[in-house]
Amino acid sequence: LDAAPWWTSAVVYQVYPRSFADSDGDGVGDLPGLIDRLDHLERLGVDVIWLSPVYASPHADNGYDISDYRAIDPAFGTLADFDRLLAEVHGRGMKLIMDLVVNHTSDEHPWFVESRSSKDNPKRDWYWWRPPREGFAAGEPGAEPTNWESFFSGPTWTLDETTGEYYLHLFAPKQPDLNWENPEVRHAVYEMMRWWLDRGVDGFRMDVINLISKDPALPDGATTGTGGLGDGFPHYGTGPRIHEFLQEMHREVFEGRSDQLLTVGEMPGVTWEDARLFTDPARRELDMVFQFEHVSLDHGPGGKFDPEPLDLRDLKASLGRWQTALGDVGWNSLYWSNHDQPRVVSRFGDDGEFWRESATALATVLHLHRGTPYVYQGEELGMTNAPFADVHDMRDVESLNHYRETVAAGADPEAVLRGLRAMGRDNARTPVQWDATPNAGFTTGRPWLPVNPNHTWLNAQAQYDDPKSVFNHYRRLIELRHALPVIARGDFRMLLADEPYLYAYERALGDDRVLVVANLSGTPQTATLDGEWSTTDLLLSNTDEPSVVNGRIAMEPWSAHVFMRS
Ligand code: TEU
């Protein structure tokens, strides 16, 4: 047991720096602002900070478009600020991991500037360049080398007038994809990673890392996309050389370094079969991955912006499957939210009458699974989706492109807005609510994205001294993972799988048993469970002590209870 990796009992906190804390009044969060708020994280008790990109960037996608991997963007501060942050984080016994965005760069990165300059530039082959499709003139509709649809709407190819060829971008045109087939590209990335590790960072969260290996034949995809575009995913999702590339990265970057580092790969569309391979320690690829199955269950026939209510049985089947699949080999990461997902209390909980109860019930259910939990900034306060009046209040490139494209194609603007309000990424990106003052303590200037008006009552200051607050509930859950090996490393067994409103499971390690039971609905329920659990075993609740009679637990709306026996 002592051989278990340190991150089995760790909790990671994601900072989206643009929206965390602004020290200089320009309305954009920054590194000195983050340093000033480290007390908050220490108080919460998290072990690791994952810092979303702070590198030099034109900010076409809020920093996920990098123009210099070894510089801090002036909007966030300087390299000296970064070194100070790292020292402060380490001084408090925490770690810091960087966001590694190497599927693509910014089109303003010097590599791409060179690459686009001529067909015989030495860096031409660092990106994916292709002539117009056979029989088409450059720029003609349908001349794109493949029919793939971008994650951010429209084709994945943009014509560059300089050479009359197209370049590939799975995301925005300002995010050209690097060509990982080229060993020079790979080695430049590894060198940059070593540079950050030498500086003292504790690992990386790797952006869309399962998309870096494309089938070099670049076949068309099935035409399922908007306006006749196709789905290229089968040709770049978990592609042919992905395991080879990650093993090479491990060898070149991590081998012989401390076992105190953390690697987590973000992997849209990854299956549990592949995740097991990526995270099998014997294969030396990654410590864990972010999978997307459970955050896709509410996507409707029209995709993510056409959401449907979640059926709890689907959620249990999905998370339960991942618990089993990565039970003996591999490791799960656990998350409800991040900067790309709507706020979980609004999405799967109730941000009205049962706001506090549902935020804490969802937290309880997630954190006590087997895996490493990730808390996204503001989630520990129960922050909610934002009341966007219309599209002019939104800033995200994905939302704006989706609106423009679907409305141009004849969709009802109100219907499109409904989808964006429910699922748009800006929901997660409104400033952190520190206190009840006009800009929520985030900035003295004008915030780049409006502060949620509910900050007058929903804020950190109001929660620190309230023992029942969402913040203090998260703090206790984190404490439990630190204190109890059964939570860090125990086996997982799903209970009541077919029950539509209750989420229940058991964890077991040696003689220790933990029972988690939650009512994820707004109506009272009764949980009937085997085993002689009684209120004397109660470890943690988000409501009053429940009545337990003959194995029947009375479950108030959105109540969650944790029992333990040794
Ligand atoms: O996201 C990858 C991704 O596939 C999605 O979550 C994406 O954000 C989108 O919502 C698909 O509908 C990562 C980053 O987390 C995201 O912020 C970046 O925009 C993206 O990669 C490109 O770097």
Say which CATH number the domain at 524 has. Answer: 2.60.40.1180
Say which CATH number the domain at 133 has. Answer: 3.90.400.10
The closest-lying atom of ligand 1 relative to the alpha carbon of residue 292 is 6
- Mean pLDDT score, 458-479: 98
pLDDT over 80 (residue 225): no
Tell me whether residue 204 is in a domain.
Answer: no
User: 544-559, pLDDT tens digit by residue?
Assistant: 999 999 889 999 999 9
Name which residue sits closest to atom 6 of ligand 1, judged by CA: 340
The pTM of this model reads 0.98
**Of the listed 207, 293, 298, 506, which one is catalytic?**
207
Cα 340 to middle of ligand 1, angstroms: 6
What is the chain's mean pLDDT, rounded? 97
Residue 160's pLDDT band, with cuts at 50, 70 and 90, is: very high
**Of the listed 99, 107, 144, 266, which one is catalytic?**
266
Of 153, 168, 183, the domain-final residue: 168
Cα 211 to middle of ligand 1, angstroms: 11
d(CA 298, CA 103): 27
User: 298-311, pLDDT tens digit by residue?
Assistant: 999 999 999 999 99
CB atoms within 10 A of CB 306: 16
Percent of the chain with pLDDT over 70: 99
Contact 336, 366 (CB under 8 A): yes
- Mean pLDDT score, 485-495: 98
DSSP state of 93: T
The total of structural domains in the chain comes to 3
Q: Is 207 a catalytic residue?
A: yes
Tell me whether residue 160 is in a domain.
Answer: yes
Pick the closest to residue 57 from 381, 397, 509, 300 (CA basis). 397
User: 252-290, pLDDT tens digit by residue?
Assistant: 999 999 999 999 999 999 999 999 999 999 999 999 999
Residue 32's pLDDT band, with cuts at 50, 70 and 90, is: very high
Pick the closest to residue 542 from 468, 460, 464 (CA basis). 468
Residue 413's pLDDT band, with cuts at 50, 70 and 90, is: very high
Ligand 1 site residues (CB inside 6 A) read: 61, 64, 101, 151, 171, 207-208, 266, 268, 304, 339-340, 398, 425
Name which residue sits closest to atom 7 of ligand 1, judged by CA: 340
Q: What is the pLDDT of residue 33?
A: 98
Q: Which residue out of 208, 211, 423 has the highest number of ligand 1 atoms within 8 Å of its CB and is therefore the one to mutate?
A: 208
- Mean pLDDT score, 522-532: 93
Tell me whether residue 475 is in a domain.
Answer: no
d(CA 174, CA 111): 13
User: 494-505, pLDDT tens digit by residue?
Assistant: 999 999 999 999
User: 347-381, pLDDT tens digit by residue?
Assistant: 999 999 999 999 999 999 999 999 999 999 999 99
Beta-carbon contacts of residue 317 (< 8 Å; ≥ 6 apart)? 497
ipTM above 0.85, yes or no: yes
d(CA 342, CA 324): 27
User: 78-114, pLDDT tens digit by residue?
Assistant: 999 999 999 999 999 999 999 999 999 999 999 999 9
Q: Is 266 a catalytic residue?
A: yes
Contact 289, 314 (CB under 8 A): no
Tell me whether residue 459 is in a domain.
Answer: no
User: 304-356, pLDDT tens digit by residue?
Assistant: 999 999 999 999 999 999 999 999 999 999 999 999 999 999 999 999 999 99
Q: What is the pLDDT of residue 141?
A: 92
Beta-sheet pairing, 525-528 with 552-555:
antiparallel
Name which residue sits closest to atom 8 of ligand 1, judged by CA: 340
Beta-sheet pairing, 372-376 with 303-307:
unpaired
Helix axes 183-199, 242-249, angle to 10 degrees: 40
Tell me whether residue 512 is in a domain.
Answer: yes
pLDDT over 60 (residue 1): no
Q: What is the pLDDT of residue 183?
A: 98
Tell me whether residue 130 is in a domain.
Answer: yes
Which domain covers residue 496, as residue numbers? 490-565
Tell me whether residue 56 is in a domain.
Answer: no
Tell me whether residue 483 is in a domain.
Answer: no
Q: What is the pLDDT of residue 175?
A: 98
